[in-house]
Amino acid sequence: MKAVLDARQLTHGPEARRRVDTLDLQLKVGDRLGLLGVNGAGKSTLLQLLAGVLAPHAGEVRVMGHALSADNAGVRRHIGFMPQRVPLYGDLTVHENLAWAGRLRRLSGQPLRQAIDAALQRVQLGGLSQRLAGQLSAGMVQRLGLAQALIHAPPVLILDEPTAGLDPLQTENIRDLLKDLPADTSVILATHLLDDVQQLCDRVILLDAGRKVAEHAVTGQTDLLAHFRKPDTGVAAR
Amino acid sequence: MIVQVTLHEWRRQHAGLTFWLLLAFTQLIVAWLSFAQLEAFAEIAPQLRAGAATIGATDLVIMPTFNSLLLLLLLTSPLLAMGSLAGEVHSGRMALWLAAPVSSAQIVIGKVLGLWLAILPLVLSASLTLAALGLGVELDTARFGLGVAAMLTVALWLACITVFVSGLFDHPAAALATSYGVLLFLWLLDSLSGPSAPWHGWALLPHVEPMLLGLLRSQDLLYFISTGGAAVLLGIFLVDRRRGAI
């Protein structure tokens, strides 16, 4: 099956201290890929490279067969990105924040209104659309971030620690939302939580110092903690 | 896309309290100054008429108030601009911009125009206050119009400079302090040296005052276009640098 996202020899950062180092990564339609690694392993930098926030110093990212750097308008609309810190305007309402996220993705008029309604419904924020984003709880903020990333129905969704800082109920809520994503949406998810990977991903990549040290399929029996401690043991890399 | 970014920046400014406080403050100061100037003018008007003087309300009320408005714009625009790029970085929203199908040029030009739209009510409300004086005294409409055009030009130039400075920093407070430093320097530059000094051409006031005197000179327009344009180009460079593209 053709890769919807294909990163080759991706490198970022100065030579002495690479944040991402000659990393290859492929994502096919419907894949759910987890990125695990300790703090500073390069997860967020990698996701920013894949989302086009950062430009790689070497290598390239291709989305739906097109280079990410070469065609901003055409390629970037295939990607939905939710950074670790949800990018919202606290003095604008939930609806206004979503409207802006949609306009940034070149939606307007009736399609934008429909996309906002659909996104609000998907993340269960419909009743709060007129509330100022600055007044939302942590869980609602994450849901708004997810709605921003989903507003243009992208085939590739990139999520940076979507459950970070949430209480168990809120975490479960976000996980349920992610489980309900359309089957043909490909997801890359960086997280510290092994449970996130176990419940949401069918594949996991372990990162250390910007390098991919292992790639495993995730099944119910996969002992992620063992792989995390010693990445070169256990299930064969795919 | 520039229009979308412009309107977003304009909406963002209007959603905040700072804009409304600055608008009220500016309007209050301009009203107070213009009526103080008018009062002084009313006292000497009979003498001016008796002496067949060529100066009138435009010289003694309108232009001094425009001069004061210039200072108010120098004080207020950094407050409105400080968050335009630095605020996006500080709050983590820059990722949303950089991941979207928007070029760095569209971001910077949109931010500049949006900020200009946000400053416009300050200029227009002050100009309307001054225009209202025309109901009671005779105004030189051509000079008044050129004065308004000068303020609009300066407002756009200020938007270019302050958005660029905002792009230099990750924190709005640093952008605010630096903007004040840069603008104060350009404002005082001509008074720190004589007209023959090589850097005199960089000073702001020698390029605004001729317009307030009714002179539209190409060198003044060139000053605003070149320095404002350079600021926009540098702002685009700074956003590109954030992507790691440069």
Res B157 pLDDT > 50? yes
- Of A63-67, A80-84, A112-116, B167-171, minimum mean pLDDT range: A63-67
Copy the structure tokens of residue A121. Answer: 């419904």
Q: Quick check: is A220 in a domain?
A: yes
Mutation target to probe the A interface, by most A beta carbons within 10 A, among B98, B111, B236 is: B98
Does A60 map to a domain? Answer: yes
pLDDT digits (tens, 9 = 90+) for A217-232: 887 666 666 666 665 5
pLDDT value at residue B181: 93
Q: Do A96 and B11 touch (CB under 8 A)?
A: yes
Query: Mind listing the pLDDT tens digit for each residue in B158-204?
Result: 999 999 999 999 999 999 999 999 999 888 887 777 777 777 788 88
Kindly state whether residue A157 falls inside one of the protein's structural domains.
no
A205, containing H or E segment: strand A203-208
Give the pLDDT band (50/70/90) at residue A148. Answer: very high
Q: Is residue A52 part of a domain?
A: yes
- Alpha carbon distance B159, A169 (integer Å): 46
What CATH number does the domain containing A30 carry? Answer: 3.40.50.300
Contacts of A48 in chain B (CB under 8 A): 95
Where in the sequence is the domain holding A193, given as residue range(s)? 1-71+186-238
pLDDT attached to residue B233: 96
- Least CA distance to B244: which residue of chain A? A55
Low-confidence winner among A151-160, B27-36, B88-97 (lowest mean pLDDT): B27-36
> What are the pLDDT digits (tens) for A194-211?
888 888 899 999 888 888
Using the Cα atoms of residue B20, residue B22, residue B23 and residue B27 in order, give the sign of their dihedral.
positive
Residue % of chain B over a pLDDT of 90: 42
**A164 domain residue, yes or no:** no
Alpha carbon of B98: minimum distance to chain A alpha carbons (Å):
5
Q: Is the ipTM, as predicted for this complex, more than 0.85?
A: no
Which amino acid makes up residue B79?
L
Tell me, yes or no, whether A109 lies in a domain.
no
Interchain CB distance below 8 Å, A81 and B95? yes
Which residue matches tokens 């008018």?
A: B38
Tally of structural domains, chain A: 1
pTM score, whole prediction: 0.86
Residue A237 pLDDT grade (very low, low, confident, very high; cuts 50, 70, 90): very low
Residue from B184, B151, B149 nearest B78 by CA? B184
Range of the domain at B130: 2-243
Q: What are the φ/ψ torsions at residue A178 (nearest 5 degrees)?
A: -70, -35
Give the Cα separation of B158 and B81 in Å (integer): 9
Q: Are A48 and B12 a contacting pair at CB < 8 A? A: no
Count of domains forming chain B? 1
CA-based nearest residue in chain B for residue A98: B96
Q: How far is CA B193 from CA A134, A213, B65, B203, B222, in A?
A: 49, 64, 25, 10, 22
pLDDT number for residue B78: 94
3-state secondary structure of A9: strand
Q: Which residues of B touch A (CB under 8 A)?
A: 1, 4, 8, 11-12, 15-16, 91-103, 243-245
Domain contains A18: yes
CA separation for the pair B140, B133 (Å, rounded): 12
Query: For chain B, what is the mean pLDDT?
Result: 87
